[in-house]
Amino acid sequence: MPSDDRFADAVKPALEALLSDLQHTTEVLRRAHINDRRSESRDDIEHSYNLERTLDTQSSRKSLGPPSQAQSYSDVRSNGRSPSRDPLHSESMIGTMNGELSSKHGVNTIPKGDCAHCGKPIIGQVVIALGKMWHPEHYTCCECGAELGQRPFFERNGRAFCEEDYHNQFSPKCQGCHRAITDRCVSVMNKNFHIECFTCAECKQPFGEDGFHEKNGQTFCKRDFFRLFAPKCNGCSQPITSNFITALGTHWHPDCFVCQSCGVSFNGGSFFEHNGAPLCERHYHESRGSVCSQCRGPINGRCVAAMGRKFHPEHFRCSYCNHQLTKGTFKEVDRRPFCHKCYNNTCLRLEWIESEIVRIITTVFMIRVIATEPSFMSPRFLANCKLFCILFACFTIFLLLFYPEYRANSFQIASYRTSFLPMTRNRKFLEAAEQWKQCFTEGLNKSRKEPKEMWYWVRHVVNNCRNQTAFSKIELTGVKNKDEMKYHVYSTSKEPSVVVTLGIGLDVKAEETLKHFLPYGSRFFAADPIYKGNGELFEPIGSFFPFAVGKEITVSNALVLKDKKYINLVMPHIDIITFVTKFVKESTIDQFLMDNEGPEYDIIPMMARGAEFDQNGIVVCQCNTEVHTADDERKRKFLEIMNTVIDDGRYAFLVSYATVHHRFFFINIEHPICVENDQTRVYCEK
């Protein structure tokens, strides 16, 4: 058996809990009957107190064993009280036990109050909230019943809520995710949002320093708002975000409201309309076919229609004597008008002389051949053929030397161009070139490190620099394809030109127009990997090659137009240097038309100073190129190209406009061949 002290230590916690429970139970009963007890006689109260003191005296005994139940019961009963009916009696018993334990073992109990939920005394842990005390298990959320003793809670109208239920019922709801807002929020248009939910309705990105725009109850960033709802420019199809011009029933950027053929701004605000497009006076008349075929100027009044062309009356002159043809009758030879006098004195006389001499030479030749040697493979026959060729050549030289009219009207002697022609640029042209370079460099200086900014800003700088410098005097001719405009500066030289096209796209309207206006004998070359349709259209114009042209010789994917759709097909490729040197076989390209899908990003850098074109002696005088829609990688390449153009100073960009892609027209302002033959120098002298 354990000792008395060890036994007391063992039962001490249980007794302490039991006494606390009994004490608080007695406290509840005492409060419930306190009013009734006040009405009883004072003697009964004193008797109860005496009984309590008696029990306290008995509890002071040193024996550890508590008084037996029988003894306690008999003591109480002897005083005339029932323990089950008298709360004061129970309280006295508990007090006796409490005092005995306190004196012997130090066991103390402290009353904590009653639970506001169940009304019972609180033993052990207590929760004090809302001005009341609670059992921990009874202090719960009034909505979901979860215990709140160890959790944060919210009070509303005297009721306790857990955090989740409180926010679900009383917190504002986010209009983006429709969940309760428990932290900072944004209040806009009488709506509330989480900070992370307040984003653009289109791109779902947070709003930056530009703020937001509202449309139909939705919020948009500045870029998407203008892209979706701003009026679109009829010139570039981009949204208008600031100043604009309203004309022809549509809206335009001020920089885009220019002649749709040459890109020149309208002087004085006046323009001409043709098929819904604004045009300058010259290109308006050109589009309507009312341009003088001689001076290329617009015809505003009377005109002469002859040989399928139109002329100012004062420009319709005899091709030989240059007298104005006013009587309405003329003779046509090789699409050139002659007066009757010049026709009779020159053309008929030359025809007669030519026919007679050819007849005589042919007759003598045939008689000599037949009479001497009937075999066509004999040495004598070959010698006679050589003699005939020599005689005919002498006859031609005779006509050229002694009949200038024959030289002017029947033959055109080819003059081959060389790359070492003397440079005769005058001071005005040099000043215009320097002005353009300075304007172009300053305009793009801030964009030289930002690919996206360069892609957007370059067309504005190109058109502004042309209009602000003497290059605005350069007369551009718009050559329209089905869906685009190409430009050309007609040469002052009468030499045949060389035109190279990369990518046909089932459209040769521009090439047909150039062939009509360029000097006789001009040569046309084109390459496209799809022969069907493209080759059939181009072969009447020039030489067609059925392969793709790019940076290198390979077999790889090419984006081609087939059955009116752009698709990727595996096609043979040839590099541009081999194409020009082995197939075109021309060192100077007067007009370079690049419409292929993508290779322009590789070919344009090859035209820079000291690059592949220079290394192989290839000169490009004029170029129309389409720079197709760029992703981030292509925009970086485009930035490098434009930085090279700025540093190089070889090419002057005269026209730039944007549809889905960028389109540029630029000319060579440094090479002697290009400057001497093209009209750039002539127009800068005006």
**What is the pLDDT at residue 110?**
53
Domain with 358, as residue range(s), is: 340-409
14 in a domain, yes or no? yes
Q: Which residue has the tokens 């230590």?
A: 9
Residues 642 and 499 in one domain: yes
**What is the pLDDT at residue 590?**
92
pLDDT band at 74 (very low <50, low <70, confident <90, very high): very low
Whole-number average pLDDT of the chain: 73
89 in a domain, yes or no? yes
Pairwise CA distance, residues 22 & 393, whole Å: 145
Residues 516 and 633 in one domain: yes
Is the per-residue pLDDT at 414 higher than 50? no
Residues 434 and 511 in one domain: yes
570 in a domain, yes or no? no
> Considering only CA atoms, which of 500, 520, 480 is closest in space to residue 620?
500
**What is the pLDDT at residue 106?**
47
Give the torsion through C-alpha atoms of 610, 616, 617, 622, to 10 deg.
-80
Residues 520 and 438 in one domain: yes
Residues 32 and 149 in one domain: no
pLDDT tens digits along 606-665 = 999 889 999 998 999 999 998 887 678 888 888 998 989 888 889 999 988 776 678 899
Residues 615 and 509 in one domain: yes
- pLDDT, mean of residues 164-193: 78
- pLDDT, mean of residues 591-604: 87
216 in a domain, yes or no? yes
Residues 624 and 519 in one domain: yes
For 406-542, strand residue ranges (E) read 477-480, 485-488, 498-502, 523-527
DSSP bridge pairs for 573: 548, 554
Residues 154 and 50 in one domain: no
- pLDDT, mean of residues 130-158: 82
Residues 396 and 475 in one domain: no
Is the per-residue pLDDT at 218 higher than 50? yes
120 in a domain, yes or no? no
265 in a domain, yes or no? no
Residues 432 and 495 in one domain: yes
Q: Of the given ranges (202-206, 423-427, 561-565), which has the lowest mean pLDDT?
A: 423-427
622 in a domain, yes or no? yes
User: Can you read off the two tokens belonging to residue 513?
Assistant: 């127009």
pLDDT band at 197 (very low <50, low <70, confident <90, very high): confident
Q: Of the given ranges (341-345, 436-440, 547-551), which has the lowest mean pLDDT?
A: 341-345
pLDDT band at 358 (very low <50, low <70, confident <90, very high): low
pLDDT band at 366 (very low <50, low <70, confident <90, very high): low
pLDDT tens digits along 381-397 = 556 656 666 666 666 66
Total domains, the chain: 5
111 in a domain, yes or no? no
pLDDT tens digits along 14-66 = 666 666 666 555 555 555 455 444 444 444 444 444 444 444 444 444 334 44
Q: Which residue has the tokens 């047909």?
A: 512
Pairwise CA distance, residues 186 & 194, whole Å: 6
Residues 162 and 196 in one domain: no
pLDDT tens digits along 494-517 = 778 999 999 888 889 999 988 888
User: Can you read off the two tokens belonging to residue 331?
Assistant: 């003779």
pLDDT band at 666 (very low <50, low <70, confident <90, very high): very high
Domain CATH for 161: 2.10.110.10
Domain CATH for 474: 3.40.50
Residues 520 and 665 in one domain: yes
Pairwise CA distance, residues 659 & 546, whole Å: 28
Residues 6 or more apart whose CB falls under 8 angstroms from that of 664 comprise 462, 623, 624, 625, 627, 653, 655, 656
